[in-house]
A and B are shown apart, each in its own frame.
Chain A
Amino acid sequence: MTAFEPVIGLEIHVQLSTRTKLFCGCELSFGEPPNTRTCPVCLGLPGTLPVVNAQAVHFGLMMGLALGCEIAPRSIFHRKNYFYPDQAKNYQISQYDIPLCSGGRLGDVRLHRIHLEEDAAKLVHIGTSGRIHGADASIVDYNRGGTPLCEIVTEPDIHSAEQAREWLTLLRVTLRQLGVSDVNMEEGSLRCDANVSVRPAGADELGTKTELKNMNSFRFLERGMNAEIERQIAVLEGGENVMQETLHFDPSSGRLSSLRSKEEAHDYRYFPEPDLVPLVPTGAMLATARDALGELPAERTARYARDWALAEDAARLLAYEPWWGDYFEEVATAAEDGRGAANWVEQLRARIGAESDPAVSHVTPLALAQLVALVSAKQVSAGAGRQVLDRMVAGGGDPAAIVEREGLGSMDGGDELGRIVAAAIAANEGAAEKVRGGNDKAIGPIVGFVMRETKGRADGGEVGRLIREQLGLGPA
Chain B
Amino acid sequence: MGRMARLIRMDRTGHTTVAEWAAGDAAATDAAAAAFREQLDLGYYAIVSTGEGHAEQVRELPLDADVVILRLPIAGG
Bound-complex Cα distance A24 to B10 (A): 13
Within 8 A of B (CB), among A16-45: 18-20, 24-25
Q: Which of B11, B45, B57, B76 touches A53 (beta carbons < 8 Å)?
A: B76
Bound-complex Cα distance A280 to B74 (A): 10
Task: Tell yes or no: A279 within 8 A of B by CB.
Answer: yes
Are A51 and B77 in contact, with the CB atoms below 8 A?
no
Within 8 A of A (CB), among B43-67: 45, 57
Task: Tell yes or no: A400 within 8 A of B by CB.
Answer: no
Residues of A in contact (CB 8 Å), total 15
Task: Tell yes or no: B75 within 8 A of A by CB.
Answer: yes
Contact count band on B: 10 to 19
Are B77 and A52 in contact, with the CB atoms below 8 A?
no
Bound-complex Cα distance A18 to B75 (A): 12
B12 contact set on A, CB distance < 8 A: 24-25, 51
Task: Tell yes or no: A7 within 8 A of B by CB.
Answer: no
Are B45 and A51 in contact, with the CB atoms below 8 A?
no
Within 8 A of B (CB), among A48-65: 49, 51-55, 57
Task: Tell yes or no: A277 within 8 A of B by CB.
Answer: yes
Bound-complex Cα distance A20 to B72 (A): 16
**Closest Cβ–Cβ distance, residue A364 to chain B (whole Å):** 37
Are A18 and B74 in contact, with the CB atoms below 8 A?
no
Q: Which of B10, B73, B77 touches A19 (beta carbons < 8 Å)?
A: B77
Q: Which residue of B lies closest to A276 (CB)?
A: B73
Q: Which residue of B lies closest to A278 (CB)?
A: B73
A-B CB contact pairs (8 Å), 27 listed = A18-B77, A19-B76, A19-B77, A20-B76, A20-B77, A24-B12, A49-B10, A49-B71, A51-B11, A51-B72, A51-B73, A51-B74, A51-B75, A51-B76, A52-B73, A52-B74, A52-B75, A53-B74, A53-B76, A53-B77, A54-B75, A54-B76, A277-B57, A277-B71, A277-B73, A279-B74, A280-B73
